[in-house]
């Protein structure tokens, strides 16, 4: 059933900083795919200038949000949208900031579809009584989109009328694909770490992996790409020099656009030893280019990576597991290429931007068509 002539008010956080959620939000704003059910009114905002700025309080943030809040209030009252689509923050002060928008939508009687990019809501709610009460008060009987099947059980206590799983999807640059060359087991394997230099993203695990490979005289080239965080450029360069890794390990800084995609296509495999991940955009980026992924068994990665098909899953903190998985690929280049090709096939079957947008617009239609 189509929702002809309907209006959706889409409230989205965009970069900076660049995160998986803000990247997906921007792709929704920029999509050339039209929603046939009516009109989408976009309201976008960026609160922070960097990853480090997330969660901090500044007066400029308060005033920026106040103006944003008034703009949304005007849209709710004048345009009376049939649906409010909101990518909200789910923890801490940012949640209570965003909850003011949810309250306004509730008071004006709007249907709400929240897009939840994080995980751990159940455990957080168990530790914070008022949070548990407040989020249920605001969202009970409303609708949610989550990224993976595993997230559904994380949010079912809130009381949503319905929860839909829509995996993230991305658009690839035209013509960008891994060009495989015939390898022998004596050639170095080229691996890539692509994430902010945060402990939670596994930067130290990547460094320890490089040490283990060098210690065992495995030929490799490792490339670290990402914005400085818990570790900075000086610390990384000092580590490389101290451990005599100048010929094996390279830090390229933060790369974007064609430079980022080029770094992925130059690699043979992505290393993603993250300790905290709701989904894992970087994994599907690598799959889209056509390289397999070695990742920790964490969050949505267990639903993205099919071991033996498009990569390998390792227990968190298992450096030896990372090492052995990489060595297996280095010694079996045919398997490496085969899984890279399968990764690309899986990407086009599940994780394209067009697939994501089509499913999201379908959810708009479905929710609007439902009676309150």
Does any domain span residue 68? yes
Rg (CA), the chain: 22
DSSP H/E element including 192? strand 189-194
> Can you tell me the distance from the alpha carbon of 369 to that of 29, in angstroms, rounded to the nearest whole number?
23
Per-residue pLDDT reduced to its tens digit, 126-160 = 999 999 999 999 999 999 999 999 999 999 999 99
* One domain for residues 200 and 343: yes
Quote the domain boundaries for residue 326.
189-350
* One domain for residues 163 and 234: no
Query: In 113-150, which positions are buried (b, 16+ CB within 10 angstroms) versus exposed (e)?
Result: bbbbbbbebeebbeeeeebbebbeebbeebbbbbbbee
Query: CA angle 127-133-134, nearest 5°?
Result: 110
* One domain for residues 197 and 317: yes
> Can you tell me the distance from the alpha carbon of 32 to that of 315, in angstroms, rounded to the nearest whole number?
40
Q: Which backbone phi and psi does 39 adopt, to 5 degrees?
A: -125, 140
- Is 245 within 8 Å of 208 (Cβ atoms)? no
* One domain for residues 361 and 326: no
Sheet holding 162-165, edge to edge: 38-45, 6-13, 83-86, 111-115, 143-146, 162-165
* CATH assignment of the domain containing 65: 3.40.50.2000
- Give me the mean pLDDT over the 161-172 stretch: 95
Residue 227 CA from chain centroid, whole number: 16
Sheet holding 220-225, edge to edge: 249-253, 220-225, 189-194, 269-272, 293-296, 311-314
* One domain for residues 273 and 292: yes
Per-residue pLDDT reduced to its tens digit, 196-241 = 999 999 999 999 999 999 999 999 999 999 999 999 999 999 999 9
For the chain, the domain total comes to 2
Which one, of 305, 229, 223, lies nearest residue 266 by Cα? 223
- Is 311 within 8 Å of 343 (Cβ atoms)? yes
* One domain for residues 329 and 339: yes
Position 181 scores a pLDDT of 83
* One domain for residues 233 and 271: yes
* One domain for residues 329 and 207: yes
Does any domain span residue 180? no
* One domain for residues 154 and 245: no
* One domain for residues 126 and 103: yes
Position 1 scores a pLDDT of 43
Does any domain span residue 55? yes
Query: Residues of the chain with pLDDT > 90: what percent?
Result: 84
Least confident of 171-185, 264-278, 306-320: 171-185
Query: Residues of the chain with pLDDT > 70: what percent?
Result: 96
- Give me the mean pLDDT over the 359-364 stretch: 97
* One domain for residues 88 and 208: no
* One domain for residues 128 and 25: yes
Q: Which backbone phi and psi does 42 adopt, to 5 degrees?
A: -90, 135
Which residues make Cβ contacts (< 8 Å) with residue 42, sequence separation at least 6?
A: 10, 12, 29
């Amino acid at each position: 059933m189509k929702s002809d002539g309907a209006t959706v008010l889409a409230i989205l956080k965009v970069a900076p900083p660049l995160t998986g959620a803000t990247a997906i939000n921007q792709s929704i704003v920029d999509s050339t795919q039209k929603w046939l059910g009516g009109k989408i009114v976009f309201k976008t905002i960026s609160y922070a200038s960097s990853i480090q700025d997330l969660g901090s309080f500044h007066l400029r943030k308060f005033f920026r949000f106040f103006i944003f809040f008034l703009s949304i209030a005007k849209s709710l009252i004048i345009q009376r949208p049939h649906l409010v689509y909101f990518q909200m923050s789910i923890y801490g002060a940012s949640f209570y900031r965003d909850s003011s928008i949810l309250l306004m939508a509730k008071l004006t009687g709007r249907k709400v579809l929240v897009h939840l990019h994080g995980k751990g809501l159940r455990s957080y709610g168990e530790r914070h009584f008022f949070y548990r009460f407040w989020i249920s008060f605001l969202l009970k009987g409303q609708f949610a989109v989550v990224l993976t099947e595993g997230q559904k059980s994380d949010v079912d206590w809130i009381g949503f009328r319905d929860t839909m799983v829509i995996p993230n999807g991305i658009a690839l640059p035209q013509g960008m694909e891994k060009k495989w060359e015939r390898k022998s087991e004596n050639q170095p394997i080229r691996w890539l770490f692509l994430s902010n230099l945060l402990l939670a993203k596994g930067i130290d695990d990547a460094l320890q992996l490089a040490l283990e490979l060098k210690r065992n005289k495995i030929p490799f080239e490792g490339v670290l790409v990402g914005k400085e965080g818990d570790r900075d450029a000086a610390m990384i360069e000092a580590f490389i020099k101290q451990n005599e890794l100048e010929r094996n390990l390279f830090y390229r800084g933060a790369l974007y656009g064609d430079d980022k995609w080029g770094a992925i296509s130059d690699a043979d495999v992505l290393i993603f030893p993250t300790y905290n991940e709701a989904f894992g955009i970087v994994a599907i980026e690598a799959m889209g280019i056509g390289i397999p992924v070695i990742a920790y068994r964490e969050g949505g990665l267990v639903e993205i990576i099919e071991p033996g098909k498009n990569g390998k899953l390792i227990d968190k903190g298992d450096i030896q597991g990372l090492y052995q998985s990489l060595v297996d690929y280095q010694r079996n280049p045919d398997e490496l290429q085969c899984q890279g090709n399968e990764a690309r096939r899986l990407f086009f079957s599940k994780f394209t931007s067009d697939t994501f947008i089509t499913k999201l617009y379908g959810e708009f239609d479905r929710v609007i068509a439902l009676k309150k």
